[in-house]
Each structure stands twice: as C-alpha cells, then as structure tokens.
A and B are shown apart, each in its own frame.
Chain A
Amino acid sequence: MSNVSPPPPPPPPPPPGTRISSPTPSEPLIGAEDLSAWPGTGPVMVEAIGVTKSFGDVVAVSDVTFQIGSGVTAILGPNGAGKSTLFRMLCGLTQPSSGTVTVLGRNAGADREVRGRIGLAPQQDALFDRLSAGAFVALAAQTHGVVRAESRTREVLAQVELDVDDPKPVGSFSKGMRQRVKLAAALVNDPDVLVLDEPLTGLDPIQRQRMIALFGELAERGKCLLVSSHVLDEVARLGSNVLVLAQGRLAAAGDYRSLRDLMDDRPHRVRVGTDRPQQLAAALIERGSARGVTVLADAVIVDIDDIDGFGRIIAPLTVDLGLRLDELVPLDDDLESVFRYLVERRR
C-alpha cells in the first residue's frame, strides 16, 4: 500500500530573484480521516521539490525532488549521503536552502499544527537518561499536547512491549530498549507521518520482527513511514519502496525490483545449477548468450544483458545438451545489489 513516485516533471523555473515559497498556513491539512482511507494512490503526504541544503560550501542535499504517499518507504544511502539532513528538513528542524519540503501539504518548519502530526525517532539517542520510560514518553505526550497523556503513554509503551510502571531510568536500558522507548515517544501523538532513523538498530531478532510487523500495521492504517536503515535485507522486509540518496542527490525512487529492471547498463547475474557446468558454460559462450561466465563445481554464474531472453533459451539449451537443470537463481535483483549499483554508479 505504499507509493513512491519518481520525480514529477520539474515545475517551470521561477523568474530570477524569485524565492520558491512554502504553502501558506491557510492551505488545509490533509485530514486524518482522509488518511485512514488511503487507497494507495491517494494524496501525497510528503513532498520535496528541488530541495537543496548547504552548510557553507558543503552541499548536503542537492536538488532533490520526490513525492511519497502512505506506507513504508526506505531512505537508503551511504554515510554522508544526506539522509539525516533530509529527515531534519522533513521534520521542520532545519529549512532547505532552496526548494520546498512539505508534509501533509504544509511546511513543517513554519507550521506548528503539522509538526504535531509528525513522529520522529532520531538515530542518535535523544532521551533523558534519568527518567523512566513512562516519564519520558509522558513528557513527549505532553509536549505534543496529548491530553490523555498517561493512558496514551501506557498504550504506546505496551505497543513496543515496555512496562510503563518500570521505575528504572532509561539510562540503564539496553540499546534495544532505548530504541523502543524512542519509538514509543514517536508514536505517542499518533502521527500521520513517522520519520524513523535507523529504528531497528540494537533490537534483537524477535523485536525486529515485531517492529517490522508494527510498521506494516501502521502503514496499513494509512500512515506514512520513512525509515532509514543500513541493514538492507531488513529494509527489503519493510517494503519495496525506496529512495536512494548518494552524495546528496536522489539516485533513484520507487520499487527496487523495478529499479533493477531499469538498469540496462548493468548485466544481470544468474546462478544456473547443473550437473555439468563446464559444458553449459562453453555452450553459453559459444552461442553468445552470456557476457561472462564463472564455472563452479555444480553451477555456472552467468552475466547476461537480457534476463528475459536468457530465461527463454536456457531450458531448451540444457535439453539440447542433455544436461540436468537444477536451479535458476537471480543473484542481483535483491535490494543490496540495486543499492550497490546505484551508489557505485555515483562514485
């Protein structure tokens, strides 16, 4: 139910000297009731248009444009790619040097109301170490203006499987527990947009599974989750929509499997399991069906340009050669390969 749109056609450039302005506060927010009915193709919840952020001579984010709807979207990129800067701009913590960032149609930097509908779980520890989890989350609830702070605190802590009555200060918590406290604090205002910077770091496998399930549930309820993670196989489990940042620029946006298909300049790599790999490798080279082959004991790793065409010829070929075809496994259509290709291409 997630939707990441590739950059829309660029808007006409403003006349020289014109500042790109944010929507005025009088423009309506998307109502929570509308979001709960998000069909997957409904309103854009987060939008960046031509966003650039510089710190002196350093350009952290450069001319980034994208639109995101409800569901889970992973923000990927190597260290220094601009992910955290982008998150800060989305949350209104810093303003772009140029361009506009809007959340629910508003500029979070200038609009208090929309900030109340964003939940942030930053990568760095942002906790009062001496407070208990309950006290900390209650404080977050109060600063968000939640009236039933106590009962809401109880609910969200239960959601992340922490005890509201546990008097231990969060300073004594494990990394995973602290992560869950941060997540509870991000959820306490029932936000429509959740910005989660490395939310799975430090969690044990069971907790990771539960958090991923929770993210999925939130996405199904029409919330927009922006998640950054370095663990790509976890990102793949969160969903298939990604924004890839490299060197401050948007390298790609959309379903990573579709992105892989778009990478015509990269040969696909397939493992073909067979009982006579040398014979199969020789035949593939002889017929020009492969760009390169690597022969293993029980398989051939084949680099090919046209994966669909290869799929059509491999079975008849093995029949012709009298070989046994054990398996045909694509090796590089996973998220990690897509990410590696995209990022390497930028270097």
Chain B
Amino acid sequence: MTAPAEIFDRGYRRYEGERTGVWQAMRSVLWHTIRSVLGIGRKGRHKVFPALVALVAFLPSIAFLAFAVLIGDMLSEELRPPYWELFGLPILVVVLFATLVAPEALVRDRRDGMFRLYLSTPLTKPTYLLAKFAAVMAVMAIVVAGPVLLLLVGYTVQNLGPDGFGAWIGVSGRILLSSVLIVGFMAALSLGASSLTDRRAIASVGVLGAVVGVSIVVGICVDAIGLRHELRVLDPLGAPVEMAARIFGEVGPAGESRGSAATPTWLVFTGVAAWTTVWLSVLVTRYRRLTAV
C-alpha cells in the first residue's frame, strides 16, 4: 500500500475574505506615515533625529520636574512656569521637528510614486490628505503636548498640580485644546509648504522659511519699522503660544505691548486661524491640481 499523498493547488488564489472601506485605508496610511517619520522598523540611525528632537523638547519639563523633586513643597507657585509657557519654550524644536516630519510624510510619496499607487486604491486625494494630516498631527503632538502633559502629571504626583479634580480637568482640557490647535496650525503650515516641492530638503527649508522667515519679517515690521504690535498675531512662532496663553486666561509676550492695550484675544485666534487656512488652502489647491503621474 502506498503512502497517502496530496497535490496542492499552486495556482492563483482568489481573495474571498472581507474587505473594509476607506477608513481602513486611511488608518493604514496614517500608521505607515507615523512609522516612517519616527523611523520605526528602520535602522537605528533613522530613529536618532526624532529621538533627539523629542528629548530636547522634553528637556524644559524634565528640568522643572527635577527642580520640583529636589525642592518639593518649597517650590512656590511664582517659581513654577505656567503650563502654557511650556508650549513656547521648545517652540523652535517643534518647528525643527516639523521640518523633518512634513516633508517625510508628504514629499516621499510623490517622489517614490506611492502617491499614484495610493490613489489607485479606494483612497481619494481628500482622504489621503486627511490621513497624512492626522499622521503629522499625531507625531507633532509628541513634542507639543507631551512636555506639558508630563509637567502636569509630574506636578500632580509631587502635589504641586492643580487644586482639586475639577481644576485638574480644567487644566488638562486647556492643555489638550492648546495642543490640538497648535499642532493643527503646525501641521497645516508644514504640509502646505511641503506640498510645493518634490524635494525633501527644499521642503524642509520651505517649512523653516514659512515659520522663522515670516517671524523675522513680522519682528522687523513691529520692532524696527514700528508698525502696530497687533501684527504679532501673524508671527508663526509667537502667535500659537500667545493663543495657548489666552486659552489659559493670560496674556503672553506676543500680546503685550508697552504703553498700549494687549492684543484682543479674538485677534490672536484670527491670526492663527488665518495662517492655518492659508496653508491648508495651499495644500488642497496643490493636490487638487496634482496629477498622479
């Protein structure tokens, strides 16, 4: 008697399984973009820059926490920075991070031809951009919200946090709202600037120019030429932090002016919203015209 045998069909197999909709596709693009930007699944050298930037962004919070641990209850409220200031201290690091994140998220797909492949799936240009926007926001949130939340948690553990549960929730809510708005602003700006070129290095320079360059121009207009100080709401470095200060019910450095009233809060929000709208329009217009070649 011969041994039992079996012939396996090695031909093409149909996929009979379930198919999900566009959300799965968006989630996949989102997760892949996050992995790509943070160097997850890649060699160690690809993780160095994101890790270094994140570390620098967290340094002020870590320093304040270390101070709090060492001094403890003796650390008076005056010596503790308001939470919104933590959005401002590492702002240049946040911008630096944006110069890495957005070009990596957006430009690479166009250069590699992946944009074409993505659009041959159930993804459309709007859903693709939405996924990319969400990915950039998620990554940027690490360096924007992370340090402030760390400080809040650290202070809470050290008994230096907000008094009572209600106050704690209030502060947390303000931190989250500020973070979402700042991250949204930075994502719109960096993705908009990155959409204008197919070269990552140029995109990074473009993002830097759109933030630091414009900030310098606004500074010259107000400080050197003497134009109205309200123009600072157009400063991409100062306006987001000022917005966070207003969310915490305070006035930040970009809203103050010697001898004149503080810039109205609505104007601060309008400035940030205007830049966000401008750069989102650039992004959408550019991709609407872009042919997936």
Residues of A within 8 A of B (CB): 88, 91-94, 112-113, 115-116, 118, 120, 122, 124-130, 135, 139-140, 142-148, 152, 155, 159, 185, 187-190, 214, 217-218, 221
Contacts and interface: CB of A to CB of B under 8 A. Distances in A.
A146 B13 CA distance: 14
22 contacts: A93-B119, A93-B292, A124-B113, A126-B116, A127-B114, A128-B36, A129-B112, A135-B41, A142-B24, A142-B27, A143-B28, A143-B29, A144-B121, A144-B122, A145-B19, A145-B21, A146-B17, A148-B15, A152-B17, A185-B117, A217-B11, A221-B14
A125 B18 CA distance: 29
Interface in B1-55: 11-15, 17-22, 24-25, 27-29, 32, 36, 41-42
B158 interface: no
B15 A152 contact: yes
A115 B291 CA distance: 17
A238 to B, nearest CB: 16
Contacts of B122: 112-113, 115-116, 143-145
Given A120-B117, A124-B113, A112 B22 contact: yes
B112 A139 contact: no
Interface in B216-237: none
Nearest to A135: B41
B120 to A, nearest CB: 4
B123 interface: yes
Given A144-B121, A146-B17, 13 more contacts: A91-B120, A122-B113, A126-B113, A127-B113, A129-B112, A139-B32, A143-B25, A144-B19, A144-B25, A147-B19, A147-B24, A187-B12, A218-B12
A214 B12 contact: yes
B293 interface: yes
B112 A94 contact: no
B168 interface: no
Contacts of A125: 112-113
A94 B113 contact: no
Nearest to B117: A126
A143 B121 contact: yes
Contact of B117 (A140, A146, A152): A140
A93 B121 contact: no
B20 A145 contact: yes
A54 B193 CA distance: 28
B12 A126 contact: no
A139 B36 CA distance: 12
Interface in B178-221: none
B124 interface: yes
A305 to B, nearest CB: 45
A310 B112 CA distance: 56
B269 interface: no
Nearest to A119: B120
A93 B41 contact: no
B22 A147 contact: no
Contact of A115 (B36, B41, B116, B121): B121
A126 B114 contact: yes
Interface centre among A94, A122, A143 (most CB of B within 10 A): A143
Contact of B12 (A91, A139, A159): A159
B64 interface: no
A139 B28 contact: yes
Contacts of A187: 12
Contacts of B119: 91-93
A163 to B, nearest CB: 15
A215 to B, nearest CB: 10
B29 A189 contact: no
A217 B20 CA distance: 27
Nearest to A32: B14
A112 B18 CA distance: 16
Contact of A88 (B20, B118, B292): B292
Contacts of A139: 28, 32
Contacts of B25: 142-145
Contacts of B29: 143
